[in-house]
Amino acid sequence: MKKIFLPIKNEDIEKLKVGDDVLLTGRIYTARDMVHKMLVEGLKDKQVPPIVLYGSTIYYAGPTPGKPPKVVGSCGPTTSSRMDKFTPAMLDAGIKAMIGKGRRSEAVKESIKKHKAVYFLAPAGCGALLGSKIKKARVAGFSELGPEAIYELEVEDFPVIVGIDPRGNDAYRSTRR
């Protein structure tokens, strides 16, 4: 099990291989479909995004409200392929890591390889467990989207698996063989 402190460093990414089990600690941002669309359109129009994209880790999720003393309730991953049409532009803007579930397109794999980034898989069906790893949460942008706004999350020992490494190796391709 590898431990990585966020924001993720290039030297940490370079050491990752498909299938590695990783525990993430630090800051991640949630972003789903609408946020991706708004960020990419904003970048095209030279707007300053509400969060620093360069070096960031994006989690494809929308946390549910937590019952005190919990910060959030369930916070499981959404299907990553829904963000595929926006992902190359997000990587061009400096995103270094993404967390979600499911396969990615060939264009996304090539963009991950080009930018020496990483795609992590979060365990699907484990939203309550993942939510328990979130220590702080605040709306960081696009509050009008409610639960699909950008949330800044502070996570501790957040469990993920390397799905696509910086060399473009893909866990789904490996398992099909």
User: Cβ neighbours of residue 60 under 8 Å, at least 6 residues apart?
Assistant: 30, 31, 32, 77, 78, 79, 80, 82, 83, 98, 99, 100, 101
Average pLDDT of the segment spanning 166-174: 90
Average pLDDT of the segment spanning 38-67: 96
What pTM, to 2 d.p., does this model score?
A: 0.96
Is it the case that residue 36 has pLDDT exceeding 90?
Answer: yes
Average pLDDT of the segment spanning 49-70: 95
Residue 115: active-site member:
no
Could you tell me if 103 and 172 are in contact, meaning their C-beta atoms sit under 8 angstroms apart? yes
Is it the case that residue 177 has pLDDT exceeding 50?
Answer: no
Average pLDDT of the segment spanning 13-34: 98
Average pLDDT of the segment spanning 6-29: 98
Say what the pLDDT of residue 174 is. 56
Residue 5 — very low, low, confident or very high, per pLDDT cuts 50/70/90? very high
Annotated catalytic residue, options 6, 8, 16, 36: 36
Alpha helices in the chain (DSSP H): 10-14, 33-44, 87-92, 106-115, 127-132, 171-176
Least confident of 11-20, 40-49, 65-74: 65-74
Say what the pLDDT of residue 33 is. 95
Residue 147 — very low, low, confident or very high, per pLDDT cuts 50/70/90? confident
